[in-house]
Amino acid sequence: MMAFEIGDQIGLASLRAVDRPDPAPAPGEAIVRVRAACLNHRDLKVLAGTYGPRRPPTRVPGSDGIGEVVALGAGVTAPQPGTRAICAHFCNWLDGAFSPAAFAHDLGITRDGWLAQHIAVPAAALVTVPDAVSDAQAVALPAAGLTAWNALVEVARIKAGDVVLLLGTGGVSILALKIARMHGARVAITSSSDAKLEQARNMGADIAINYRAEPDWAAAMLRATGGAGADIVVETGGLATLTHSISACAPNARIVLIGALGDASAAALPNFSSIVGKNLTLRGITAGNRRMLQDLVRAVAANDMPASIHRCFSFADTAAAYAFLQAGNHLGKVMIEMPA
């Protein structure tokens, strides 16, 4: 099959196209013919060798994807070949509380991922995608979508009328925007780009703040909410943004710690007294499990939640897709389509 491998992990140039044997299903596994994949921020870090330890150079990257089951290993009776399916990238975390054991089976990191014509996954991890949900709607759900769902629904217990603050217009934020709107929440979003803020408004954002033009965007957030602040923050910025996120919160808000996009070198320590004084909850998460992904797929189908794809590249143009993501001009997701 055609596949991409992460190579020496010295940057984008490490990505290499290879021909390699199709994977064979081990007992308990299914082989999925890949229809499409999506890139995530961590795919850039993996290629740069900065996402934990260096990985074997033959590792196939890609944590988000959709495909069709084509073969089953010994002992597997479902899902049937022909089933269109996705899979949480922690493919052994099926339900229940997080355990660090999840990291040992992480698609695109500690197991081969989606940037190949075929992928082997535990059959029990697969989630069937109903006909009503398109490839473009489903392909970004396993990583960015599931993280946003875990943050908003499982951890922050979102409810109609909540004010949700999203940082930047990357994949997690845009999926979170759609999920928050689905729950009847009000959405505030920040961006370095007025054009992206305009697009976010068209997607349903109620409050749009340019964090470059307004370095004190927490104050802008408080002004825009009449002093009330955010009930939930999907914190994708990390130490660089956390102090502002805390300032932008309403009493009893939930801040879900997810990413580290910003430059943390000049970051001050978080404003501890505000965490205590406002009774805030700060909680870190790592993606989510299969049961949460099932819930998300059901919600997407029931609400026809629109896809969050900014641009789609062909499989042959995967290197260009990585470069496009790294340039940061995207809003939402960068998708890669496999040859039929």
Ligand X SMILES: NC(=O)c1ccc[n+]([C@@H]2O[C@H](COP(=O)([O-])OP(=O)(O)OC[C@H]3O[C@@H](n4cnc5c(N)ncnc54)[C@H](OP(=O)(O)O)[C@@H]3O)[C@@H](O)[C@H]2O)c1
3-state secondary structure of 295: helix
- Please count the residues of this chain forming the interface with ligand X, following the rule CB under 6 A: 32
Amino acid identity of residue 78, one-letter, is A
Stretch that binds ligand X, among 54-62, 118-126, 225-233, 284-292 (CB under 6 A): 284-292
Stretch that binds ligand X, among 74-82, 108-116, 232-240, 302-310 (CB under 6 A): 232-240
Question: What is the number of residues in the chain?
Answer: 340
129 φ, ψ (degrees, to nearest 5):
-100, 120
Q: Both tokens of residue 35?
A: 């229809």
The strands making up 249-257's β-sheet, listed across from edge to edge, are 207-210, 186-191, 163-167, 230-235, 249-257, 281-284
Question: Is the torsion defined by CA of 107, 112, 113, 117 positive or negative?
Answer: negative
Nearer to ligand X, 9 or 147 (CB): 147
Cα–Cα distance between 131 and 55 in angstroms, integer?
A: 36
Residue 39-68 contact track with ligand X, rule CB under 6 A, x = bound: -xxx--------------------------
Nearer to ligand X, 243 or 286 (CB): 286
**Pair 60, 3: CB distance under 8 Å:** yes
CB of 238 to ligand X, least distance (A): 7
CB of 40 to ligand X, least distance (A): 4
Nearest-5° Cα angle at 38, 171 to 193:
30
CB of 2 to ligand X, least distance (A): 25
**Contact status: 241 vs ligand X (CB under 6 A):** yes
**In this structure, what DSSP letter does residue 29 have?**
E
Nearer to ligand X, 121 or 175 (CB): 175
In the list 196, 254, 290, 310, the residue contacting ligand X (rule: CB under 6 A) is: 196
In the list 129, 262, 307, 310, the residue contacting ligand X (rule: CB under 6 A) is: 262
Strands 333-337 and 309-314: parallel
Residue least distant from ligand X (Cβ):
170
**Contact status: 91 vs ligand X (CB under 6 A):** no
**Contact status: 258 vs ligand X (CB under 6 A):** yes
CB of 270 to ligand X, least distance (A): 15
DSSP string, 158-201: --TT-EEEEESSSHHHHHHHHHHHHTT-EEEEEES-HHHHHHHH
**Pair 51, 109: CB distance under 8 Å:** yes
CB of 5 to ligand X, least distance (A): 21
Site for ligand X, residues 134 to 193, rule: CB under 6 A = 143-144, 147, 167-173, 190-193
Convert 229-254 into a string of H (helix), E (strand) and C (coil).
Answer: CEEEEEECCCHHHHHHHHHCEEEEEE
Contact set with ligand X (CB under 6 A): 40-42, 143-144, 147, 167-173, 190-193, 196, 211, 236-237, 240-241, 258-262, 285-287, 328
